[in-house]
Structure 1
Amino acid sequence: MTRALSDVKRRRIDELIAHTSDAGGVSLLRDAGRRLVRNPTAIVGAAIIVLFLIIAIFAPLVAPHDPVQRFPELTQNLTVDTIPGAQAGHPLGSDPLGRDFASRMIYGARQTLFVGVLATLIGLLAGVLLGAVAGAVGGWVDAVVMRLTDVMLALPSLLLAITLVALARESSQWTVIVAVAIVNVPIFARLLRGSMLAQRESDHVLAARALGVKQRHIVSRHMLPNSLTAVIVQATLTFAVAILDAAALSFLGLGDPDINRAEWGLMLGVDGVRYFEVRPELAYYPALAIILVALGFTLLGESIREALDPKNRR
């Protein structure tokens, strides 16, 4: 009986080995890609992001009109209590200054993408630099960097961003970008620092030390590349938060003061709230666009995080 069970187990092992040899090994990234393709949440998030990118990049080709041009057919019926709605040639009607609202929504996607990408990239680069230094050097450097990040994380992100913008001499688009980027720095720094501490005692790092590899090469070639995956995934989620924070600052009047610039948060705060009783669509459309784009990046980021998690591999 025992011999028969052993023969069954041996045949089963041989079958598994043969199947693995025929199919070939599957890397973590390839396996994650397969699960993303089969994940409806990731597909929905990716579809929203692709649509947003197409509209933002090709805004001059997609928009039916110049976003700053005032049209006579819109201004002739324009009063404080009446803002023209949808009509021929203007599917979303007019804004309070007689400009095509649909064109301004399309160009607002480009402006939102610009602010979100720059804020995320600046925060990512600064956070990676601080996290890499803290995780690689350790000691008092690690303690100082982490205490600074703790202080920044102790404050609500939007409140910290408002404080940073208020400290500037005058608000502009770049003050919003810098403020949102600074808010995101401690998130990336702590995440990368934790990943590098986990890599410090890994087998390949210990082997490199035993072979006499210099510390800077160990950090740049072994620890840092293997710690960036979680940071890149977090950048996808942070992009959604950056869009929301930038829109909130513009909504509060702390963003770009140029009313000719089409930006969803500015449109929501300046036109949407002021003329909400006259034409609530001026608030609905920018708010809905901000929510959808943030939702798309959140869905895709969470799906990528789940797909790259080794605990979810089957």
Structure 2
Amino acid sequence: MTTQKTTPNLLKRKAGRIDELSESGGNSLAVDAMKRMSRSPVAITGAVITVLFVLLAILSPFLAPKNPYIPYDELRNTLRPDSIPGPMPGFLLGSDQNGYDFFSRLLVGSQQTLIVGVAATLIGVLLGMIIGGFAGAFGGWVDTLLMRFTDILLAIPSLLLAISIAALFLHGTQWTVIIAVAVVSVPVFARLLRGAMLAQRASDHVLAATALGVRRRTIVFRHMLPNSLGPVIVQATLTLATSIIDAAALSFLGLGDSDPSRAEWGLMLGKSQSFLDVKPELAFYPAIAIIVVALGFTLLGESLREALDPKNRR
């Protein structure tokens, strides 16, 4: 009789708990990570910098007060070998070494910098996922061959590898920088995805699908790959910061686009090194902009990595 009386009460209590959970709703890993990031000053700072940079890059052609690709006579007529005009009516930051409006070129340069960084990161992610996906899905000699190739790339310092690839082109262009920076990031994404997929191969749901006779292609694309993309997305955010820095370094060394009319922060920084004693602002402003943007992406990526780490869940 006791069991008969307590069992309905126990079922009622469990039903009440289920109703409470259904009303409150369970939080997924992504939702829980966003809540933790919203309470992190570091994540908020990185997100603010990143959002402002992206908005500036998109709106810069409309925000620029002057045409950044046309030299102005009122600026060129005041250029001297030992003097570059500073702020003057109609030109907030004055002229650069070629008579262009320096402020407008800084604004538009954000768009070119974003294009280079995003394009290089996307190409690196795509190639890295292809290599890492094949290695993690097939294993065996395929895994060994592809991973030894990535080991060779990782053995070379990243900046030295980027310089070597850029030097192979006869004429430097914007795509030269993008390809060189993208190749540097390929082994990072390849090893990261490969490791995540190898961990998925030993998981229960993959073993169960294999035992049921599900095709390998279905297991890879429906079970293994989607569950392995989290670390890749986080790494892509961090790589975007290093891509911007590496692209600026190549342009600074003269291995990028040599067209002086193109507005890009790295190229502007490289072209201004001969005028540091005349107008140091030509180098300071692009350098500060690159540092701040790279810092924003780094803070956001590190915060995202910590938020998605299961060890940090409470």
TM over 0.5: yes
* Matching residue's letter, 2:210: R
Q: What residue ranges of structure 2 are gaps of 5+ in the alignment? A: 1-9
* Matching residue's letter, 1:56: A
Q: CA deviation at 1:76?
A: 2.3
2:140 is aligned to: 139
Q: CA deviation at 1:75?
A: 1.9
2:251 is aligned to: 250
CA distance in 1, matches of 2:165, 2:61: 33
Q: CA deviation at 1:19?
A: 5.5
Residues 58-77 of structure 1: CA distance to partner in whole angstroms, max 9, x if unpaired?
Answer: 12111011112122222222
- 3-state SS of the aligned residue for 1:58? helix
* Matching residue's letter, 1:83: I
1:294 is aligned to: 294
CA distance in 2, matches of 1:280, 1:170: 28
Q: CA deviation at 1:16?
A: 7.5
Cα RMSD, aligned residues only: 1.5
Pairing 1:121-200 to 2, within 5 Å after superposition: 121-200=122-201
Residues 204-233 of structure 1: CA distance to partner in whole angstroms, max 9, x if unpaired?
Answer: 101111221000100000000000010011
Q: CA deviation at 1:309?
A: 0.6
Give the TM-score normalised by structure 1. Answer: 0.93
Q: CA deviation at 1:173?
A: 1.1
* Matching residue's letter, 1:215: R
Q: CA deviation at 1:23?
A: 2.1
CA distance in 1, matches of 2:19, 2:306: 30
CA distance in 2, matches of 1:216, 1:261: 46
Residues 31-58 of structure 1: CA distance to partner in whole angstroms, max 9, x if unpaired?
Answer: 0111111111111111111111111111
Pairing 1:1-314 to 2, within 5 Å after superposition: 20-271=21-272, 273-314=273-314
* Identity among equivalent pairs (%): 63
Q: CA deviation at 1:20?
A: 4.0
- 3-state SS of the aligned residue for 2:274? coil
* Matching residue's letter, 2:274: R
CA distance in 2, matches of 1:137, 1:91: 59
CA distance in 1, matches of 2:22, 2:267: 58
More displaced stretch, 13-22 vs 278-287:
13-22
